[in-house]
């Protein structure tokens, strides 16, 4: 099964094998979103486990991220094509970023791509974004939704700081807040006062569309 092969090749950090099988899978009609979510994202979770167990080190995480990004160059146009088949009836404006202290950008970028593919406008603030920058962007762009991503347990807590800063400026009620990333859960989202949580990029699009409808 091609998805299993892609997963295995990524876990083994075999770039050529990942790229050639991604092309093969697309040629066989497997949706790009399935390749990203079912094969590649799962492989990244396994790589995380190998890191935790001491079998992989930072160098391997960096290599895995680099292979993931290479594969995304092939997959991104297909993801956009797939997403655009069901254009949103209402276009939302979303300010998005990975919170301060956190440089993980793959998941956040995937969320941005899927939102854009569905016809929404995304202002991507990048990674390591401090509360002031989120607040400034909400003031400047007046988005429908503010999306925050965090992969580290330590940085996820910073999302609450951003929400408090928005409250202080009287902006909290003007924007829906959606959070996600491996360090977050639906319960965590409720606790910090966010409006919603999504487990992956496809669900993030659905959630945001339901919040703005």
DSSP codes, 23-67: HHHHHTT--HHHIIIIIIIHHHHHHHHHHHTTSS-HHHHHHHHHH
How many other β-carbons are positioned within 10 Å of the β-carbon of residue 51?
A: 15
Residue 33 sits in the site that holds ligand B1M (CB under 6 A): no
Looking at 7, 21, 33, 41, which residue binds ligand B1M (CB under 6 A)? Answer: 41
Looking at 139, 153, 168, 169, which residue binds ligand B1M (CB under 6 A)? Answer: 153
In the complex, least distance from residue 205 CB atom to ligand B1M, rounded to whole angstroms:
9
Residue 97 sits in the site that holds ligand B1M (CB under 6 A): no
Residue 57 sits in the site that holds ligand B1M (CB under 6 A): no
Gap between the Cα atoms of 47 and 28, Å rounded: 27
In the complex, least distance from residue 211 CB atom to ligand B1M, rounded to whole angstroms:
11
Using Cβ positions, the residue closest to ligand B1M within the complex turns out to be: 107
DSSP element (H, E) containing 73? helix 58-84
Contact 111, 178 (CB under 8 A): no
Give the Å distances, CA to CA, from 33 to 8, 75, 78, 151.
18, 8, 8, 21
Looking at 78, 100, 104, 176, which residue binds ligand B1M (CB under 6 A)? Answer: 104
Residue 31 sits in the site that holds ligand B1M (CB under 6 A): no
Interface with ligand B1M: number of residues (CB under 6 A): 40
Residue 99 sits in the site that holds ligand B1M (CB under 6 A): no
- Closest C-alpha among 141, 132, 128, 127 to residue 174: 141
Give the single-character DSSP code of 195. Answer: S
Binding-site ranges for ligand B1M (CB under 6 A): 37, 41, 44-45, 47-49, 51-52, 58, 61-62, 64-65, 101-108, 110-111, 147-149, 151-153, 178-183, 198, 200-201, 204
């Amino acid at each position: 099964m091609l998805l299993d092969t892609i997963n295995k090749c990524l876990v083994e950090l075999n770039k050529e094998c990942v790229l050639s099988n991604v092309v093969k899978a697309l040629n066989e009609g497997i949706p790009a979103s399935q390749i990203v979510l079912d094969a590649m994202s799962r492989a990244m979770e396994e790589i995380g486990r190998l890191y935790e167990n001491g079998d992989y080190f930072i160098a391997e995480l960096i290599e895995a991220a680099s292979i993931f990004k290479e594969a995304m160059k092939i997959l991104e146009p297909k993801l956009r094509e797939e997403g655009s088949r069901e254009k949103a009836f209402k276009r939302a404006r979303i300010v998005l970023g990975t919170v301060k202290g956190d440089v993980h950008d793959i998941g956040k970028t995937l969320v941005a791509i899927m939102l854009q593919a569905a016809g929404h406008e995304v202002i991507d603030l990048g990674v390591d974004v401090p509360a002031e920058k989120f607040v400034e962007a909400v003031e400047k762009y007046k988005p429908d939704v503010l999306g925050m991503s965090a992969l580290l347990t330590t940085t996820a807590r910073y999302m609450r700081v951003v929400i408090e800063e928005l409250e202080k400026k009287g902006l909290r009620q003007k924007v829906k807040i959606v959070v996600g990333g491996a360090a977050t859960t639906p319960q965590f989202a409720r606790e910090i006062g966010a409006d919603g949580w999504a487990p992956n990029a496809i669900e993030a699009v659905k959630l945001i569309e339901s919040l703005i409808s």
